[in-house]
Chain A
Amino acid sequence: MNKRTVEVMVGLFVLLAFILLLFLALRVSGFTDNSFKNGYTVSAEFDNVGALNEGALVSIAGVKIGEIDSIVLDPTTYRADVVMQIYSKKTLLPIDSSASIYTQGILGAQYIGLTSGFAETNLQNKGEIRTTHSALILENLIGQFLFKMKK
């Protein structure tokens, strides 16, 4: 076969592979900027995080704005200390914002939903969200229901 044809075919092959890698990155994995260079972290303490996992999404008004970096137990208060990574510095959170744990659908994963407050000042890097609402634990809910039924 002609040498030039061989080289052109190899070039096409490599190009095809790179285009399809781009397809895998953008279309299949919805590649988001994972470098966090422009982001910041905020923390929040919850009484109970339920089945919340590290890496779960943090959203505001249903839009994904970050993910959960770590969940550790505070040894003095026995509350869960959740550190959230906010992707962009441009996402400003007022200092009186509140955080709640919700569930996606009936069987879905748990995530943190933020509700913005009205304060003039915004949370800084490593700031803390004071108002939190714990995860709904189905057993506790049923327990409360039964307790009210007895009355």
Chain B
Amino acid sequence: MITRLQQLGQSTIRVITSLGSAAITLFVVCFRKPQNIGSAFRALVAQLFSVGVLSLPIILVSGLFIGMVVGLQGHHTLVKFGATSALGSLVALSVVRELGPVVTGLLFAGRACSALTAEIGLMKATEQLSSMEMMGVDPLGRVIAPRFWAGVISMPLLAIIFDAVAIFGGYLVSVKLLGVDSGSFWSNMQSSVVFSDDVLNGIYKSIVFGIVATWIAVYQGNACIPTAEGIGRATTRTVVYSSLAILGLDFILTAMMMGGW
């Protein structure tokens, strides 16, 4: 009985400790000034390449196909009501408000965040991080900060690209394949999509997802057990936690945005 109680206490303390050190990591990464602005910027650009640019193919392809599928499914239902002219609004609103940020977030967690965790974890396992500390170089500023900021910056950019490509995919299917009138497709879309409400809210969502997913990734990498198995587990945890966080936060953010905040 007492041991059970002790185990409960231990696991609670472990959860709170890891939350606390994750918060400290985030705080340090956000507020510690880099020693050399120029080299920090170059590191950021290099990370933007591996996190953002290399994620483009998967974002482009899945965006195109998701837009096409939404177009097909929407047409299937709308044609029963003779309202296929509303297909443009349907595709644009569902992509811009919901599918764009969420699917990009999930793909981003799988493609970029897992790589971040594995990379930082391997650096830790091969004691690159501790040797940096010995040389007086701060690994949080040198290794973690550029990766974190690269994730935060590239996520909304990827979501914007996803939105546009998905709407283009929807356009291809509805207008070119199913024969919806091109004029009514675009004009209905324009009259129902509001930039400051629909498009910007989607982008805000993607910024939040980017912060959370990259935060989880760099923390898991930095805190992993430095063995092959530990890195594997940390990578899995990154994908699972950040996907869950994205889906959970998506509900909260949507409820807040619809409630007028």
Contacts and interface: CB of A to CB of B under 8 A. Distances in A.
Interface of A: 6-7, 9-10, 12-14, 16-17, 20-21, 23-25, 27-31, 34
Given A30-B191, A30-B193, A24 B157 contact: no
Interface residues of B, number: 29
A18 B151 CA distance: 17
Contacts of B154: 13
Given A9-B53, A13-B49, A16-B161, 15 more contacts: A7-B45, A10-B45, A10-B48, A13-B154, A17-B156, A17-B161, A20-B163, A25-B195, A25-B199, A28-B92, A28-B164, A28-B189, A29-B194, A30-B190, A30-B191
A147 B80 CA distance: 37
Given A29-B190, A30-B193, A24 B161 contact: no
Summarize B's interface: helix, strand, loop or mixed.
Answer: helix
Nearest to B202: A24
B52 interface: yes
Contacts of A31: 195
B186 interface: yes
Contacts, number: 68
Interface in B107-155: 154
Nearest to B50: A6
A75 B193 CA distance: 35
Given A29-B193, A30-B190, A21 B160 contact: yes
B96 interface: yes
B140 to A, nearest CB: 23
